Amino acid sequence: MSETATSQTSPATSLKQLEALGEWGILAARRTADLFYLLANAIAGIFTFRRGAWFYLRQLTLQQIYFTAVQSVLMVAFVGAALGILTMLPLYAFRVSELDLLARVMNVVLFHQVTPLVIALVVIGRSGTAITAELGELQVNQTIETLITQGIEPHQFLVLPRLFGITLSLLLLTFWANAAAVIGAGVFSMIYHEIPFAVFALTTVEGLRSIDLLAGLSLVILFGIIITLVHASFGFHARSSLDIPRRLPQSFVISSALCVLMTVLVSAVLYA
């Protein structure tokens, strides 16, 4: 009886699994299309903004940079220095002391993978969720509908300056964190392994290749686009005030997962 029941329910279970997988695929395709539409519509504002609107764009971009980058300087410096020390610890534990190899590990593992991703997660937690909450409130309070009735495109008016601000902040914070990582790793190497700080820092910087810099720059820009679009999209789709807190962790998880996925893909292309 049990084998018969299993054979009878197995096709139904498989069908439900396929149906759930198909629904997930359709939802993912819709979300992806929505993000591309949001990006295209926001960037179109560069070509359609009037002269007076550029003042607003500049002001809101500077505000976003202040909130995202300036207010995070000390925390990012601490995180960067800690990452530099943590990168050196296992290498020295395994008796790796060749300076060129240490510098190469710093360049590949830290500068192009760990640091940009960690800084992206910091920005997601501080600014990404704030964007979702802010735009969600505007959506629930029907402020966005008011903008539309006044002939103002909300994607351009609200998303574009945040896109500029988040992306520029990520570039600044990643550079600052990398500098702090070099200082932290250099001081650690100088104290515990008697490697001159200037020699360590110079070797690390000289080991950077143009392709590495371009890849790191591209990755950080992609992070800025992903973070802004994902969190703005979740904010625009808020249905009520009670729906906003539920969307905050969802947007955090999705944007974080996409940043991790992008890091893996870029690293696979460069170093596979």
CA distance 62 to 73: 15
Residue 28 confidence (pLDDT): 73
Residue 10: per-residue pLDDT: 65
What pLDDT is recorded for position 113? 84
> Are residue 113 and residue 35 in the same domain, yes or no?
no
- Please report the pLDDT score of residue 52 as a whole number: 66
Please give the residue range of the domain that contains residue 177: 50-271
Residues 161-200: pLDDT tens digits?
A: 999 999 999 999 999 999 999 999 999 888 887 888 888 8
pLDDT band at 1 (very low <50, low <70, confident <90, very high): very low
pLDDT band at 56 (very low <50, low <70, confident <90, very high): confident
Give yes or no: residues 26 and 69 share one domain: no
Is 114 found in the same domain as 36?
no
229 plus 157 within the same structural domain = yes
Asked whether residue 161 falls in the same domain as residue 30, the answer is: no
Whole-structure pTM value: 0.85
Is 33 in the same domain as 62? no
pLDDT in tens, 228-261: 999 999 998 888 888 899 999 999 999 999 999 9
Task: Verify that 204 and 264 share a domain, yes or no.
Answer: yes
Residues 132, 16 within the same domain: no
Total structural domains within the chain = 2
Q: Are residues 122 and 152 in the same domain?
A: yes
Q: Which residue has the higher pLDDT, 8 or 272?
A: 272
Which pLDDT tens digit goes with each residue over 109-145?
788 889 999 999 999 999 999 999 999 999 998 888 8
Residues 103 and 161 in one domain: yes
Residues 2, 73, single domain; the answer is: no
